[in-house]
Chains A and B, each alone.
Chain A
């Protein structure tokens, strides 16, 4: 079915949101505003981690002693690549290539899932091999809560990507209205990636005392 036709509109009809004073679409402006709040959310979490980094605790180990930097580098690379596939999905939809859009959406969701699987593996390894749980020391607590919340954000992103994929599959393509939705999911996805770059640099690389 053709997606290029906008719904026919009677020109003599008024709506509740007739124009955007700033020229930026409402939903897009909303997403930017929301993301600015998210920076404070992760800012607080990263600050917590840094506060407890370097302190001496009765019970070890602390996360910085047991990081597997090569492993996390690979999973970080996977997540970064998902930003590329996200851009490709957006690009494909701009060209109205619905098939390619679906392929790249699925690829992005898959890469995100691989990252999440890596995080599950990392947590399991830390708990089983090194006996570092939520309750070992505050540094461990803040590590798990920080990376856990990031993982939750990735998981929500994967759900949104798969929803777009499913919607496109079911409707035979994404409409004009959905086009912006894809852009918004893209904004969110890139944000989650950028936050991971900060986490990987500040929380992993700068504080790692072994494993590098």
Chain B
């Protein structure tokens, strides 16, 4: 119940749709938000993948004219930005959103409305970033004196205005002088907006994990995925403010004439590299740790053994996060930093292999002597393990400074980070999609199609990225539009591999769309799993848990189903099946009414103000730009006011009123 005055303070009638588009726009349900994150990221994955295919078509011939140089530069930049910020990061957020409350025994995250805000800011930020391509041939800020913003006609591409400095936007290449036009501005402000979304989720997830655990869910009883999410949230929390400052400096340099990175005015371009990689290296772990968490959930279930060395895996994950802040300059060995710094960062980089190695051996130990079932989630998890190990080992080679000088800016690096981010993060994420699909859809994905998908990807992936290592050693330089004809054969293999990956993705999409409607009903607990999210019906009911469980140990759900025989081997309890069936009935039918947070318009409206401010800043010299800033600020502020005066849940209008 709310006071009449509080009710009067709200501007709109409280929305309460349960179906249709408005129910999605106004939702604050962590599961729906997770699903929206997942689908949005998947669409960006397709876009980023198409960009990669265009690049590979071009590179299948040494002197191809399929793309112009400007188009090539634009495509590899947007491919990188898309895959890092609009695919892997939000995919991680999708899993965290959907699973975090379920795995710790909560009915939602700590701040459901902030959660919705994060998603909408992410979506608008991504759309804002891509909308930059529409402003082709425009030099901003329009009419600022003393700024050389004249567009080089060769920068205009058939694809619109694409940022072309690489995903790291090195200075001074990304300055107004060398990257005229608005493309870099859209990228810088778009990433800024995306950063706000990630920062809000980081705060939300940290508070959720610390505060909303079910009774008995001590920190060292949490599933590893929750631990990795916690580490990721802290990495985001401490690295995002740094990139925020760095991106503000770029925006100020480009828009308002500051001299941070302008060497002719006394500025320091190397400062950009330090700030970027001080964020950028933790970012690498932000991308990989959720996948490590997913794999740590899949391997025990499909090996039918508890995770080997749970505490070691957890602390190794935290150690990776901690060390991740001290190795950034290994991206800069060729940038002219002092020998002492090179030695220090080289050694620090080697030490990070230790916790990573601990994890790999723990995963292997989990599978050792297990009764392994090679279902698609397990295949992807094993694929992750193999590919990530290769990528990790090639990563360690960068810590040897003279060797790194040789590798810098060659395809060896491209091969390395695709092994970590595709073979690692993306394989892990797809393993997770196969594993938790029944949770989300209540149906099973087709296993045969899943296996076909896996093998297409496994073969295609290695064809695509393994040859890049030796191409790099043979002298093929990164980010160039032309290469020596003697390297053409392996480049063609690489391009064929890329299309095999695309074919695998088509199989996956077909499987997903068909199984969503026609897949076999999953029922309760299809994988004989270990964690709490499987102790409730599939698909998850709106209120998650009818009764919040009390936790007595690690792998709580498993121990409710399994006892031990005299030799310590797990034996399924006689009443396990009826117990699980009873959980299924109770799960859909709570004994007491459960009030959940009500839907609201305000997160959507507040997020909508940010891209308007972004457009305003880019065109701030014109009256339209100034007006856009004002409108954006007003929209966000008034939405915030409405939000602050609207209660989170309104008494008897909750969506779940079961009795």
A contact set with B: CB distance below 8 Å:
1, 7-8, 10, 12-18, 20-22, 24, 26-27, 29-30, 33-34, 36-38, 40-41, 43-45, 48, 51-52, 55-59, 133-135, 137-138, 141-142, 144-145, 149, 159, 163, 167, 170-172, 175, 177, 181
Chain A residues with Cβ under 8 A from B647's Cβ? 177
Q: Which of A14, A30, A55 contacts B593 (CB 8 A)?
A: A14
Within 8 A of A (CB), among B75-114: 106-108, 110-112
Kindly provide the distance from the CB of A30 to the nearest chain B CB, expressed in whole angstroms: 5
Chain A residues with Cβ under 8 A from B597's Cβ? 16
Report how far A56 CA is from B594 CA in the complex, Å.
66
Cβ contact within 8 Å between B207 and A29: yes
Cβ contact within 8 Å between A44 and B242: yes
Chain B residues with Cβ under 8 A from A55's Cβ? 266
Interface centre among A17, A51, A149, A175 (most CB of B within 10 A): A17
Residue of B nearest to A10 (CB): B593
- B6 is an interface residue with CB less than 8 A from chain A: yes
Cβ contact within 8 Å between B644 and A163: yes
Interface centre among A20, A26, A37, A56 (most CB of B within 10 A): A37
Cβ contact within 8 Å between A138 and B592: no
Q: Which of B107, B110, B245, B252 contacts A44 (CB 8 A)?
A: B245
Residue of A nearest to B256 (CB): A134
Chain B residues with Cβ under 8 A from A43's Cβ? 241
With A15-B594, A17-B108 already in contact, the answer to whether A41 and B241 are too (CB < 8 A) is: yes
Cβ contact within 8 Å between A145 and B248: yes
The 8 closest A-B pairs by CB, nearest first: A141-B258, A41-B241, A135-B257, A16-B107, A44-B245, A40-B241, A16-B108, A57-B266
Residue of A nearest to B264 (CB): A58
Report how far A114 CA is from B110 CA in the complex, Å.
37
Known: A16-B595, A20-B212, A21-B212. 4 other contacts (CB 8 A): A12-B592, A20-B211, A38-B241, A40-B241
Cβ contact within 8 Å between B211 and A21: yes
- 24 A/B residue pairs, CB under 8 Å, sorted by A: A14-B590, A16-B594, A16-B649, A17-B211, A20-B212, A22-B211, A30-B207, A33-B206, A33-B237, A37-B237, A37-B238, A37-B240, A40-B239, A41-B241, A44-B242, A48-B245, A48-B249, A51-B268, A135-B146, A135-B257, A137-B266, A138-B259, A163-B641, A171-B9
Report how far A70 CA is from B245 CA in the complex, Å.
30
- B203 is an interface residue with CB less than 8 A from chain A: yes
Report how far A12 CA is from B637 CA in the complex, Å.
37
Residue of B nearest to A175 (CB): B3
Cβ contact within 8 Å between A145 and B595: no
With A30-B204, A167-B645 already in contact, the answer to whether A48 and B266 are too (CB < 8 A) is: no
Residue of A nearest to B645 (CB): A167
Interface membership of chain B positions 313-333, coded 1 if the CB is closer than 8 angstroms to chain A and 0 otherwise: 000000000000000000000
Chain A residues with Cβ under 8 A from B641's Cβ? 163
Cβ contact within 8 Å between A29 and B210: yes
Kindly provide the distance from the CB of B158 to the nearest chain A CB, expressed in whole angstroms: 36
Cβ contact within 8 Å between A137 and B594: no
With A137-B259, A141-B259 already in contact, the answer to whether A29 and B595 are too (CB < 8 A) is: no
With A17-B212, A141-B252, A163-B641 already in contact, the answer to whether A26 and B110 are too (CB < 8 A) is: yes
With A12-B592, A41-B241, A134-B257 already in contact, the answer to whether A145 and B252 are too (CB < 8 A) is: yes
Kindly provide the distance from the CB of A168 to the nearest chain B CB, expressed in whole angstroms: 11
Chain A residues with Cβ under 8 A from B3's Cβ? 1, 171, 175
Kindly provide the distance from the CB of A200 to the nearest chain B CB, expressed in whole angstroms: 20
Interface centre among B3, B245, B262, B645 (most CB of A within 10 A): B245
Residue of B nearest to A142 (CB): B260
Q: Which of B107, B146, B244, B246 contacts A15 (CB 8 A)?
A: B107
Report how far A12 CA is from B590 CA in the complex, Å.
12
- B357 is an interface residue with CB less than 8 A from chain A: no
Q: Which of A1, A13, A29, A48 contacts B592 (CB 8 A)?
A: A13
Report how far A169 CA is from B539 CA in the complex, Å.
47
Cβ contact within 8 Å between A30 and B110: yes
Q: Which of A13, A16, A56, A138 contacts B260 (CB 8 A)?
A: A138
Kindly provide the distance from the CB of B506 to the nearest chain A CB, expressed in whole angstroms: 39
Cβ contact within 8 Å between A40 and B258: no
With A16-B106, A142-B260, A163-B641 already in contact, the answer to whether A33 and B266 are too (CB < 8 A) is: no
- B369 is an interface residue with CB less than 8 A from chain A: no
- B213 is an interface residue with CB less than 8 A from chain A: yes
Kindly provide the distance from the CB of B590 to the nearest chain A CB, expressed in whole angstroms: 7
Report how far A135 CA is from B211 CA in the complex, Å.
47
- B339 is an interface residue with CB less than 8 A from chain A: no
Report how far A21 CA is from B260 CA in the complex, Å.
45
Kindly provide the distance from the CB of B429 to the nearest chain A CB, expressed in whole angstroms: 26
Chain A residues with Cβ under 8 A from B146's Cβ? 135
Report how far A30 CA is from B249 CA in the complex, Å.
28
Cβ contact within 8 Å between A15 and B649: yes
Cβ contact within 8 Å between B112 and A30: no
Chain A residues with Cβ under 8 A from B249's Cβ? 48, 145
Residue of A nearest to B208 (CB): A26
Residue of B nearest to A156 (CB): B637
Cβ contact within 8 Å between B594 and A13: yes
Report how far A84 CA is from B650 CA in the complex, Å.
36
Cβ contact within 8 Å between B213 and A13: no
Residue of B nearest to A44 (CB): B245
Report how far A133 CA is from B252 CA in the complex, Å.
13
Cβ contact within 8 Å between B203 and A33: yes
Kindly provide the distance from the CB of B234 to the nearest chain A CB, expressed in whole angstroms: 9
Report how far A12 CA is from B539 CA in the complex, Å.
26
Chain A residues with Cβ under 8 A from B6's Cβ? 171, 175
Cβ contact within 8 Å between B266 and A13: no
Cβ contact within 8 Å between A137 and B265: yes
